[in-house]
Structure 1
């Protein structure tokens, strides 16, 4: 049954990523991959939030938590697209954008995951 939850979550996550990525790319100017950056940062934050405390497993149950984290967020975020975009920017001679995107995604991704984790802990404290 867990595979079904993960598959359904992944299906939805991929659709949301595609839809949001398209909408963000229409709004951004230039070649900087703003859409992928925003998607990956919000995904890191949400994963930190949902996995930051065992309370979410009790609230949602293991099946739904797997659907959200492994399924939805696994398909929503995209390391492969991020990697390709860094290579593409570098190949196009946009070294500053490539390095900014690379380091920004890594550093901000960790900070967003940490912020989600911290918020999860605060929410846990409020519910006690």
Structure 2
């Protein structure tokens, strides 16, 4: 139960941070390009890289704290940070082919899934 509460609290904070930062960036830069989302994704990748490297080399994170910060906060902020770190981990293991497949398929299949989901909804609402 403690782990679930940690994830929930982190996710609530992360999602609100994403909302606030994305909204602020859109006000500053305009909304013709998703600058806010791009910034959130880049910041999330920076933070997860720093945090998990610190956790692997310098500090010990308890399971609830790791869940609060990584799964909850960063997961609520952006799941792209997890994608970035997992690709980084594959490269770090020397699995360049696996990393390339993971990155290309995640992006390509993710975009395809968006198109399929949007198409399915259009079909459903058009009759």
Q: TM-score, normalised by structure 2?
A: 0.57
Q: Which has the larger radius of gyration?
A: 2
- Per the alignment, residue 103 of structure 2 pairs with none
Equivalent in 53, 56, 61 of residue 54 of structure 1 = 56
User: Equivalent residue of 2:32, what SS?
Assistant: coil
- Per the alignment, residue 43 of structure 2 pairs with 42
- Per the alignment, residue 120 of structure 1 pairs with none
1:11–1:75: 8 Å Cα contact kept in structure 2?
Answer: yes
Deviation at 1:16, TM superposition (A): 0.7
For CA contacts below 8 A with separation 6 or more, give which structure has more relative contact order.
1
* Unaligned segments of structure 1, at least 5 residues: 80-108, 115-128
* Unaligned segments of structure 2, at least 5 residues: 89-127
Q: Which runs of 4+ in 1 moved over 3 A?
A: none
Larger mean CA deviation between 28-37 and 14-23 belongs to 28-37
1:25-104 correspondence to structure 2 within 5 Å: 25-29=26-30, 31-52=32-53, 53-55=55-57, 58=60, 60-77=61-78
Taking structure 1 as reference, are residues 71 and 110 closer, same or farther at Cα in structure 2, changes over 3 Å only? closer
Taking structure 1 as reference, are residues 57 and 3 closer, same or farther at Cα in structure 2, changes over 3 Å only? farther
